[in-house]
Amino acid sequence: MMKPTILLIESSVQQIDEARRENLSEKVTILKYDCTSVDKFISRLQPGGLYSNITAIVRTGWLKAGAYASHRLFATEVVPHYPPSLKLICCSGHGYDAADIDALTRKGIWYCNTPDACTEAVANTGLALVLETFRYLSFAQWCARYDWNRSRELGLKAVDPAGMVLGIIGMGDIGLSIAQKCEAALGMTISYHGPRRKEDAEARLKNGARFYADLDEMITEVDCVVIAAPYTPQTHHLLSRTQFEKAKSTGLRVVNIARGKMIDEDALLWALDNGKVVGAGLDVHDNEPVVNEKLRQNWMVTLLPHIAVCSRTSWSNFERQTLDNLEAFISTGKPLNPVNLIPG
């Protein structure tokens, strides 16, 4: 029997499990992706092409790093070109909005992400950004380097978050972890919004949490809101002027570690100018890697270059989970944690 062929797409930032890969190479034939463009990838998928008989694609490491960071290989326009032999895609990362899951399902292809693999890294970044929005430490760092006296402007602006209400949008693994860290480290009270109440998540918080089925209602009650939900067409510009206008008179702080397009940046700028939003911490951006110039110039806003996931712990977990799913598929015909359901 011929060994299945696996297409391996590697990032320049990854943690390689040499022993597992060596063992895997005895069971499968591994092709290493080296396409210079998505068009080149598509050409190799055609009958007779180098990738025309692949059984699985494994994409591991930091998707935002390396020569292939911009290659959207699982997008709607690419899926029709996949060969009939392709049955599995394993891709590192928590989100999967860059893949057309419906189209993959119709073609009978399993898609696996790496759930909970980067929770600790992203939640730590979320915790830091929440604190930044209250204490404006990015501005303080600028002052320490360039204008010491301007730091005195923080005297009546900086506030400690203890006793403040934190609103989490999306109480999944990452949202819950951020809530736990902010409750324990910062003394915050937790509220959350999502499609349904999660009593099991509430029970994992020392003081519980208040659930809001209506996002706008939650906005009126919280001091800081963190976006930790998946990006979908329904969550596009989830926070816009409508929500910012409902902020408490003391102002709202906004943190985003999910996807940039979930915030209307023009509305955010308006809210910052009008005191509706009094602090922001953004790891993700609407048009990244381009950062909104007005936000970039505002040192009262903390900006990061989509690095919340950035930890060797995350890369190790990515490697382990992608290989777990691949090996399970090879052994049983089904991966461990697909995001879609393939009949049969």
The catalytic site residues sit at 259, 288, 306
Per-position DSSP letters for 18-78, written without gaps between them? HHHHHHHHTTSEEEE---SSHHHHHHHHSTTSTTTT--EEEEES-TTSSTTTT--TTSTTT
Contact 140, 260 (CB under 8 A): no
Residue 210 φ then ψ, to 5°: -100, 130
Contact 274, 298 (CB under 8 A): no
Which tokens hold the place of 147? Answer: 């204008």
Residue 74 φ then ψ, to 5°: -115, 20
CB atoms inside a 10 Å sphere around CB 176: 24
Per-position DSSP letters for 73-141, written without gaps between them? TTSTTTGGG--TT--EEEE-SS--TTS-HHHHHHTT-EEE--TTSSHHHHHHHHHHHHHHHHH-HHHHH
Which tokens hold the place of 168? Answer: 């989490």
Among candidates 188, 167, 178, 166, which has minimal Cα distance to 121? 178
Residues 6+ apart with CB under 8 A from 144: 151
Contact 271, 241 (CB under 8 A): yes
